[in-house]
Amino acid sequence: METSIVTVNVRKTAPNKYRLTGNSRTPQHLKQKEPKKDILELSNKKYTPKHLSPSKRKSKTNLATIPVILAAVLGMGKLSADSIRVLAPSYEAPSSYVETNPETTPFQEEQVTIPEYDTTFEIPVSTQSPSRQDYSSAAEDIEETDFEGASNNQVISVRESIVLSSPSPKMQEAQEMQETEATQEAQEAEETEEKTTEQPFQIELDDTMQYCVDKFLERYNRNINRYKYVEAKTGVAAELIGAIHFREGSNDFSTCLHNGAPLGTEVDGNIYYSWEDSAIAAINKIKKLYVPTYGDIETYYNFAEQYNGTGYRIYHNINSPYVWSGTDKYETGMYISDGSFDLYSKDTRPGVAVLLNALGLS
């Protein structure tokens, strides 16, 4: 046995205290300790808490099991190397489902063809198809043998066509009710149209009134441009202006439209020398009380009553002969002078309603 000699140099540094020198180890209690650094102030590093640092553990997921799981989900069973594409850069696939290939290493890539499976299908359903409760017996009595060799889509299509072509009793009843309601609405519309087109009054003319109507038509058509001029200035229909002119002055253009007074005389504080000026002034005066709607015959009647005065209706409860003379809406009673009413007197001239009817307005 050989003996080795180790030389130790001892230097006295303090009483009863010695420190080993040379190649010997410095005692732990004599080592100079470095000052501790705050972990949040480390130089050239950023502090990241442990719970936020990314994990360095390797994933425990075995990538080789993914094809097996997919096969189980799709109902394809176990797959061999001929039906899957194996990529194993960092692991070795289990031998239970990968065929042994001595020439293939875990770092090599092997590509194989994956069979295609059509997993999509369509079921055509009509948006107007009835519910199951409304299916007719024609669709329920179909035997399955009638569809041997046919696809599901074809069977469904045939059943749908039969159901739609053979509506149930409930659907037939609903269709009949709709047809009945449509027929009733059409009849009501026709009746309403007949009522609106039906004349609201009956004309009763004697020979004198008929002569007056004929004269009115002749004078109106001969001077229609003058009535149209006043219509353009006032917005009141020329036919209504002509009818009022007949009642006030027998369509004589030498009179004022206000009350039939001769032109050049004072009317309402003014003197008019042309019929057009007097007509425009008279029409605009009544428009302050009532404005007729162009084309609405009822408003024409109301405007004519306002023009002559509403005393018949307000004080005597009868229709104004100024409007309704010559119709079944007027019998007797009239003002024989201003402020003097006679119940037994009768207006023998046609009213505005009759004159407008002669012009085709009613």
pLDDT at 21: 47
pLDDT at position 96: 47
Q: Which residue range is the domain that position 74 belongs to?
A: 62-120
Question: Of the given ranges (6-15, 181-190, 280-289, 340-349), which has the lowest mean pLDDT?
Answer: 6-15
User: Does residue 268 sit within a domain?
Assistant: yes
Domain contains 12:
no
Comparing 170-184, 216-230, 277-291, 327-341, the range with the smallest average pLDDT is 170-184
To 10 degrees, what angle do helices 275-287 and 297-308 make?
100
What is the share, in percent, of the chain residues with pLDDT greater than 70?
Answer: 51
pLDDT in tens, 31-53: 666 655 555 554 455 556 666 65
212 and 343 assigned to the same domain: yes
10 Å CB burial of residue 277 (0-12, 13-18, 19+) is: middle
- 258 within 8 A of 278, measured Cβ to Cβ: yes
225 pLDDT higher than 60 = yes
End-to-end CA distance of the chain: 152
Instruction: Tell me how many domains the chain contains.
Output: 3
142 and 247 within one domain: no
- Residue 344 sits in the same domain as residue 242: yes
Same domain, 257 and 159: no
- Which three-class secondary structure state does DSSP give residue 110? strand
Cα maximum dimension of the chain: 173
Residue 27 clears pLDDT 70, i.e. is over it: no
Tokens of 343: 């119940």
Higher pLDDT, 223 or 68: 223
Domain boundary among 141, 165, 189: 165
Based on the domain organization, do 115 and 257 belong to the same domain?
no
Cβ-count burial of 307 within 10 angstroms (0-12 exposed, 13-18 middle, 19+ buried)?
A: buried
222-225-229 Cα angle (round to 5)? 145
Query: Is the same domain home to 94 and 148?
Result: no
- What is the residue whose two structure tokens read 């046995």? 1
Residues 244 and 330 in one domain: yes
Same domain as 344, residue 211? yes
CA R_g for the chain = 57
How far is Cα of residue 185 from the mean position of the Cα atoms in its chain?
26
Is 304 part of any domain? yes
- pLDDT of 173: 81
The yes-or-no verdict on residue 149 having pLDDT over 50 is: yes
The whole-angstrom separation of Cα 201 and Cα 354 is 10
Does 301 fall in a domain? yes
Q: Residue 25's pLDDT is what?
A: 65
Does a structural domain hold residue 284? Answer: yes
Q: Are residues 146 and 114 in the same domain?
A: no
For CA atoms 29, 31, 32, 36, give the dihedral sign: negative
DSSP 10-69: EEEEETTEEEE-TTSPPPGGGSPPPPPPPGGG-TT-----GGGSPP-SPP---GGGHHHH
Instruction: Provide the angle, in degrees to the nearest 10, between the axes of the packed helices 275-287 and 238-249.
Output: 110
User: Is there a single domain that holds both residue 285 and residue 232?
Assistant: yes
Alpha helix (H) residue ranges in 104-168: 137-140, 152-165
Q: What is the pTM of this model?
A: 0.48
Q: How confident is the model over 162-212, as pLDDT tens digits?
A: 555 556 677 778 888 888 888 888 887 777 665 544 568 899 899 999 999
**Both 311 and 249 in a single domain?**
yes
pLDDT at 157 over 80: no
The CA distance from 102 to 134, in Å, is 67
- CB of 355 closer than 8 Å to CB of 244: no
Are 83 and 115 contacting, i.e. CB atoms less than 8 angstroms apart? yes
**264 and 306 part of one domain:** yes
**Residue 348 resides in a domain:** yes
Instruction: Reply yes or no on whether the pLDDT at 13 is more than 70.
Output: no
CA 225 to chain centre: 49
Q: Residue 34, CB half-sphere, CA atoms under 13 Å: how many?
A: 3
On whether residue 48 sits in a domain, the answer given is no
